[in-house]
Structure 1
Amino acid sequence: MSRNDTDWFRFELTQTGPIEVNLDHHTRDDFDWALYQETGSALAEGATSNVPETGSYNAQSTGTGWYDLTVNFGEGSNTGGGSGNDDCGYSSRPAKPGSLQAYLQGGSADSCSTLTADQGAVLLMGGGSDVDQAFSNRVANHVGSGADVVVLRTSGTDAYNDYLLNLMNADSVETLIIDTRNKANDDYVDWAIRSAEFVWIAGGDQSDYLNQWQGTKVQTAVQHVFDKGGVVGGTSAGMALMANSVYDPDGVAGAVSDEVVTDFCHETLNFSSRFIDVPVLDNSLTDTHFQERDRMGRAIVSLGHHSNQYFSIAASEATSLFIEASGTGVVDGSNEVYIFKETANTQRVTLQCGSAVNYQNINRVKLLPGDNYNVVSHTHNGMQLDVSINGNNNNFYSPINPY
């Protein structure tokens, strides 16, 4: 049984009386049923949005034999034939609008990969060189071979297509250049994202991404991929979009550590609501190009703009953190990932607009390739120390080298 078709089941009555019909199905679907005699219009039907769809009909005449049908569709999986020859529940690919730049490499049909609902994972990458093993080991192991991959950006090329197709042994990789809200609400874009198992947001400008995509079909489609058990993620600006509170320098210069420490409410610090709901990243912030651009000051000041329940994930270039639904994350790549959070020792001495920041004893965990960090329990095998910021001093870090 699949979407967009009609399935018929025939049975004969052995006695008069009520016929009770109960059609249970996946909560994200809307199946209907109708009861007919051999000829004529429907005698009863279930055509609401209820789950299950129920109804009954009191039969007044009988035939011979009996029939007992029970249909159970498990909530735990989204399965398909894997052949790419049917629509896998997403119907056929819509026509592509002429204004949309879309570059497809590999199969054009949905590959029908098997995922486990509510077991979505997220890949955070710090920019610079991409981390091969994050795709070939972490993502490919999660979604399986023969998956469909979509790359999202507002400008750029299809350079990811051949790279990811080979690294992941994917069925297809499609790059979509979605640079207007009209394109972000197009049915072709919606279908291409929803039917994918892995959505990757390239580097660029997260403010532009939010302006063009937030509140559109792109946003709901990316959420759908995560909810059905796929992987979502991004590098640089794409990683920024994974946070609960998104750093969004819309219309202003990017925040620099030695500037924001001098004024807690520096004009370059601005945050927007989350783009995607990843439960294990509730209360999270992110930062990228971290050690290379000395962004520890801005990451810690940004943390001070949020409640003490927040934590920050910061990745240096050529480094990634792959996080599963349990919250367990593993680092791959060449450099470090840092986690910042408050503890009982933290002191918010001066966090006031117009004043230099004085923020003491923020816990810093340094993770190297192969290290683990659980973003739910905050257990880890990394190296930790307390870092303080005092914007009144020329050397505003304590210790002087907090990296």
Structure 2
Amino acid sequence: MSPFRNPRRLSVVAAAAVLTTLAPVGVTAAHAQVTRIRQGSATDVSRAAWSGPAYTMNGSGGIVTATMTRAIDAIRGGAGAIDVVVIAASGTTTPECDVITDLAGVNSCTTLTLTAARDGNDTQVNTDIRNAEFVYFAGGNQCNYVAWKGTALEASVESVVAKGGGVGGGSAGHHVNSDIVYDACAASATSATALDDPYDRSLTFTTGMFRWPHYADTINDSHFVERDRMGRTMAFVARAIKDGRTSGGKAWGVGVDRDSSLHIDRNGLATLSGGSAYVVLGDHQPEVAVAGQPLTYSNFKIWKLTNGQTYDFANRPTCGYYLKSVNAGVPSSNLYSGTPVTDCTTPPPPPPPGGSSFTEVEPNDSRSAANDVSGNTYPLTVTGDMKSTTDRDYFALTLNSKQKLTVACAVPTAYDADIYLLDSGGSTVTRSVNDGAGADESASLTRNTSGTGTYYLDVEAYSGSGTADYTCTLTKS
């Protein structure tokens, strides 16, 4: 969300075309007037049935003609024309309609600028919306848009989708079209701020405004790579789960980059036009999401889409993602890329009851570079993969006197991996080296000396490699 609108410029030709259709409505002395600028035909189309719904989710405020054209064609079924309404909360010009009116299949485009929450109940505003077949929310400040929750405008927009029309938006307009809206009503969050404290004052949300078919439990974000917003989307997802805002204990962040757009068809299939978009799934409770403390969350599942690629929101995939984590506010490296998991036949189990989980952070190929898991809650689920035939993953932990460590590792069929339990000097205390790809491993040791000591779990590739995860459960007794 940007605190300022994208520049809204009315072309000379468009200005001449709308002089006779400019009609202020809902004027009161208490606030600036609602403005209505209609371009194209002065008469709405009339038709018994439409073929949508269709949606466009844009990473920045401007119209992306590729997805807008697809939505128009889907709604009109390839024949006839539709009326479009653009809703804005500020500005006096019509950059969205300037583009839309030039597209095939458009009968008219009306820009409505609403400057107060009460404008959501304006009669002319709601008549225009209900007579339209597509509603586009312009860029700006989504806090202004969520103020229309509960007004007649909310129901009017929903009626457009219900009759087979469509809805979309860019930047702030993209935010308001998700199930859980990051409203930014207190301040605009950065990734650093959100990861350092997922309950920072800048993380505020609105729910119960729009829930589009196939798009439940989503949180949209915009200008995604351009403004480095992966971290804050991770925090949004963790907050949604922790706060119980989702229907099934899972949340999907949908981040779309600048000048990119998702077209979502009536069956829930999203297709990207432009540079990139990301779907970020959180499917378990965060390990640490507490006010005033950094976020810890393991194994966000991330799908990266490039131009022409798809994501099915109706049948959400269980494969093709890469994994990234946040540990004490520090995210994994290279958040915007990763090796997709292609072997999803045996997904990692959830953390044991009362325990936590941790995903390896490379490089961890030696004891000196070991991932420190000593501060985690046990039982602890550790996941990683053997990225090469010589890969080694080290995890450091501590044991108290007379404390027993037990490690049980589920190994995928893509490779054969062995485990070693080492003392603080690197000597092998015990090991498990079962033969065969997919052969599970287990080992245990007990600290028989006084005080607290450091130990290492060493997971080593014996033969083969791949992106499929091994899963090791560490218990102390």
1:310 maps onto 2:251 in alignment = yes
1:147 maps onto 2:85 in alignment = no
* 3-state DSSP of counterpart to 1:224: helix
**Structure 1 CA distance for aligned equivalents of residues 122 and 285 of structure 2:** 49
Identify which of 266, 289, 293 aligns with 1:355: 293
**Structure 2 CA distance for aligned equivalents of residues 233 and 129 of structure 1:** 11
Give how far 1:347 is off: 6.8
Identify which of 283, 308, 311 aligns with 1:370: 308
Shift in CA distance, 164/352, structure 1 to aligned 2, threshold 3 Å: same
Q: What is the aligned partner in structure 2 of residue 33 from structure 1?
A: none
Identify which of 115, 139, 160 aligns with 1:225: 160
Are the counterparts in 1 of residues 61 and 138 from structure 2 also a CA contact under 8 Å? no
Unaligned residue ranges in structure 1 (runs of 5+): 1-93
Q: What is the aligned partner in structure 2 of residue 271 from structure 1?
A: 205
Are the counterparts in 2 of residues 388 and 399 from structure 1 also a CA contact under 8 Å? no
Are the counterparts in 2 of residues 102 and 176 from structure 1 also a CA contact under 8 Å? yes
Shift in CA distance, 291/115, structure 1 to aligned 2, threshold 3 Å: farther
Runs (4+) of structure 1 exceeding 6 A deviation are none
Identify which of 224, 227, 235 aligns with 1:293: 227
Are the counterparts in 2 of residues 152 and 199 from structure 1 also a CA contact under 8 Å? yes
Are the counterparts in 1 of residues 120 and 152 from structure 2 also a CA contact under 8 Å? yes
1:133 maps onto 2:73 in alignment = no
**Structure 1 CA distance for aligned equivalents of residues 154 and 223 of structure 2:** 25
Residue identity matched to 1:197: E
1:282 maps onto 2:220 in alignment = no
The percentage of counterpart residues that share the same residue type is 28
Shift in CA distance, 387/105, structure 1 to aligned 2, threshold 3 Å: same
* 3-state DSSP of counterpart to 2:263: strand
**How many residues are matched?**
300
Give how far 1:168 is off: 3.7
Aligned pairs for 1:248-267 within 5 A = 248-250=183-185, 252-267=186-201
Give how far 1:263 is off: 1.3
Residue identity matched to 1:163: V
Q: What is the aligned partner in structure 2 of residue 207 from structure 1?
A: 143
**Structure 2 CA distance for aligned equivalents of residues 163 and 266 of structure 1:** 39
Identify which of 125, 131, 140 aligns with 1:195: 131
* 3-state DSSP of counterpart to 2:203: coil
**Structure 2 CA distance for aligned equivalents of residues 374 and 223 of structure 1:** 22
Identify which of 42, 48, 63 aligns with 1:108: 42
Residue identity matched to 2:82: A
1:122 maps onto 2:38 in alignment = no
Unaligned residue ranges in structure 2 (runs of 5+): 1-22, 28-32, 242-248, 338-477
Q: Deviations over 1:5-39 (max 9, x none)?
A: xxxxxxxxxxxxxxxxxxxxxxxxxxxxxxxxxxx
**Structure 2 CA distance for aligned equivalents of residues 204 and 120 of structure 1:** 25
Q: Deviations over 1:27-62 (max 9, x none)?
A: xxxxxxxxxxxxxxxxxxxxxxxxxxxxxxxxxxxx
Residue identity matched to 2:326: I
Shift in CA distance, 138/182, structure 1 to aligned 2, threshold 3 Å: closer
Q: Deviations over 1:181-205 (max 9, x none)?
A: 3432121111100010010000000
Residue identity matched to 1:133: A
Are the counterparts in 1 of residues 117 and 144 from structure 2 also a CA contact under 8 Å? no
Q: With CA pairs under 8 Å and 6+ residues apart, which has the higher RCO, 1 or 2?
A: 1
* 3-state DSSP of counterpart to 1:348: coil
Identify which of 173, 178, 181 aligns with 1:238: 173
Identify which of 178, 185, 195 aligns with 2:121: 185
Q: What is the aligned partner in structure 2 of residue 36 from structure 1?
A: none
Q: What is the aligned partner in structure 2 of residue 15 from structure 1?
A: none
Give how far 1:325 is off: 2.7
Q: Deviations over 1:250-296 (max 9, x none)?
A: 1x220100111111211111111132231311111111100001100
TM-score scaled by length of structure 1: 0.70
Q: Deviations over 1:353-400 (max 9, x none)?
A: 22111111110000011111111211399x5210111244xxx22134
Residue identity matched to 2:276: E
**Structure 1 CA distance for aligned equivalents of residues 152 and 161 of structure 2:** 14
Shift in CA distance, 178/132, structure 1 to aligned 2, threshold 3 Å: same
Shift in CA distance, 229/348, structure 1 to aligned 2, threshold 3 Å: same
**Structure 1 CA distance for aligned equivalents of residues 207 and 61 of structure 2:** 26
**Structure 2 CA distance for aligned equivalents of residues 184 and 228 of structure 1:** 20
Q: Deviations over 1:77-120 (max 9, x none)?
A: xxxxxxxxxxxxxxxxx994453311011112221145347x42
Q: What is the aligned partner in structure 1 of residue 103 from structure 2?
A: 167
Shift in CA distance, 253/97, structure 1 to aligned 2, threshold 3 Å: closer
Give how far 1:324 is off: 2.0
Are the counterparts in 1 of residues 63 and 96 from structure 2 also a CA contact under 8 Å? no
Shift in CA distance, 269/227, structure 1 to aligned 2, threshold 3 Å: same
TM-score scaled by length of structure 2: 0.59
Shift in CA distance, 350/136, structure 1 to aligned 2, threshold 3 Å: same
Q: What is the aligned partner in structure 1 of residue 16 from structure 2?
A: none
Are the counterparts in 2 of residues 128 and 289 from structure 1 also a CA contact under 8 Å? no
**Structure 1 CA distance for aligned equivalents of residues 135 and 291 of structure 2:** 38
